[in-house]
Amino acid sequence: MPDLQRLAINSLSIDDQDTHDVFITVDDPRKHVTKMETYATYKVSTKTTRGDFDQPEYSLRRRYTDFLWLRQKLEETQPTHLVPPLPEKHSMKLDRFGTEFLTTRQRALNKFMTRISEHPTLSFNEYFKIFLTAKELSSYRKQSPSVVFRLGSSVKANASAYMLKNRSPEYTMMGEYVHTFGDKMGSVDRISQRILKEQIVYQEDLTNYGPAYRLWSDWEVDLSDILNAFASSIDKCAKSMETLVRESKHWEVKFGN
């Protein structure tokens, strides 16, 4: 087991900055309203030096369901790798087409794409390239896997089954640990995003309550001192909550990186 631990530590210490050749930015969330539906899109900008890309730069817009499709395809075609989590589809607290919700989701989607682009295996997945370069994805969604792909998947599955059957117990234990750890980290990420959203809403409410109580005190002369004191306490709470939200956002970025 010490040899396995040393190997894992060494693999984590390798600096892969020089080999990172796909840079992705997800930004500019927009709301679209048609006769049939209302939806949001995000601009996905890509810069790359890879030779298998026809162009060095791409810029297109994708819906949240497109990101879901990408993640599903990555899980189907790379079953032995942990695919980063996506942000939750809906919010119980925020308007899903509001600026705050779209901005929060845009940051999470940007983090999702950055993680994939930095992955030594997932970043070379064919569906990942399609997601970054295709003008529209509807035709790819309708396609069933090709014969070559199904054959390759079958061979891979049989090979994986053979390897699992003859795998050392130490590797099996480590594989199970990594899989469980990935699931738990994904849950922590989703929960932290949900907590941050609730903190932001609470901080905004506190910020609005202080002025409201001061305005109330102007009309209630007998309660003026009490209401002003209460408003001052609320202002202090709002200030503390603002600091907490700022620190939470900072640690969310650190956690994502």
Output the six-digit token pair for 210: 């202080």
Q: Specify whether the CB–CB gap between 129 and 61 falls below 8 A.
A: no
Tens place of pLDDT for every residue, the chain, 257 residues? 445 444 444 444 444 445 678 999 999 999 998 888 888 999 999 999 988 899 999 999 999 999 999 999 999 888 888 888 888 766 555 667 788 888 889 999 999 999 999 998 899 999 999 999 998 888 887 765 544 455 555 555 555 555 555 667 787 788 778 878 877 887 777 788 788 888 888 888 888 888 888 898 889 888 889 999 999 999 999 999 999 888 887 776 555 55
The kind and range of the H/E element at 30 are strand 22-33
pLDDT of residue 15: 44
Q: Can you tell me whether residue 46 is helix, strand or coil?
A: strand
Burial of 16 (0-12, 13-18, 19+ CB in 10 A): exposed
Q: Specify whether the CB–CB gap between 44 and 132 falls below 8 A.
A: yes
Output the six-digit token pair for 99: 């600026």
Strand order from edge to edge, sheet including 57-63: 22-33, 38-48, 57-63
Output the six-digit token pair for 168: 């050392």
pLDDT of residue 162: 53
The kind and range of the H/E element at 40 are strand 38-48
Output the six-digit token pair for 207: 């910020």
pLDDT of residue 178: 82
Residue type for position 165: K
Report the alpha-carbon distance of residue 250 to residue 245 in Å, rounded: 9
- In this structure, the number of other CB atoms found within 10 A of the CB of residue 53 comes to 17
Q: Specify whether the CB–CB gap between 124 and 51 falls below 8 A.
A: no
Which one is the CATH code of 15-135: 3.30.750.24, 1.10.10.410, 3.40.50.720, 3.30.1520.10? 3.30.1520.10
- In this structure, the number of other CB atoms found within 10 A of the CB of residue 179 comes to 12
Question: In the chain, what are the domain boundaries?
Answer: 15-135, 196-256
pLDDT of residue 5: 45
